[in-house]
Amino acid sequence: MSRPDRGPVSLSDETRRLLIAAALDARARAYAPYSHYAVGAALLARDNRIFGGCNIENASFGGTICAERTALVKAISEGEYHFRALAVVTENGGAPCGICRQMLYEFAPDLLVIIADETGRIHHEMPLRALLPLGFGPDELPDNAR
């Protein structure tokens, strides 16, 4: 698998709106009976397909998966490895957790991350590298470990 193209990502306002709408739609399916903090994510692939995901909690807590990783796992399981942008929607514009940042960094260190609230208002928009400074990815491993 080759690493995605690097460089800044720009989105049209329409694409941004579609991503946030897809994340809102995914959020509506969240299973969050413990935290009551529903999260929706929409991951935009290089070919413009959108993979949605919601958080799915579990009584054993360690079995819980975040919306961002759900979207990523769906995309990877369908053969997509190249991503342009991610929209995350929570009730208050909460940012992705550390493990989600790390999982996304593996595939798209230059991913544009849009963080919005349940009304669709954007709180933050920045590259993943800004959310995970000095991120550790495949490029940091020696050639014999890849």
Q: What pLDDT is attached to residue 79?
A: 97
At residue 68, the 3 state secondary structure works out as helix
Q: Which residues of 64-84 are buried (b: 16+ CB within 10 A; e: fewer)?
A: bbbbbbbbbeebeeeebeebb
Q: What pLDDT is attached to residue 130?
A: 96
Does the pTM exceed 0.85? Answer: yes
Q: Which of 114, 77, 119 minimizes the C-alpha distance to 96?
A: 114
CA quadruple 102, 23, 127, 6: dihedral sign: positive
**pLDDT, tens only, 93-131:** 999 999 999 999 999 999 999 999 999 999 999 999 999
Q: What pLDDT is attached to residue 9?
A: 76
Q: Which residues of the chain have pLDDT under 70?
A: 1-8, 146
Q: What pLDDT is attached to residue 7?
A: 58
Q: Which fold has domain 13-136?
A: Cytidine Deaminase; domain 2 (3.40.140)
| Contact predicate 91/117, CB 8 Å | yes
Rounded CA separation 44/115 (Å): 14
User: Active-site positions?
Assistant: 68
Kindly list the domain boundaries of the chain, sorted by start residue.
13-136
CA dihedral 81, 87, 91, 92 (to 10 degrees): 110
Q: What pLDDT is attached to residue 86?
A: 98
| Contact predicate 40/67, CB 8 Å | yes
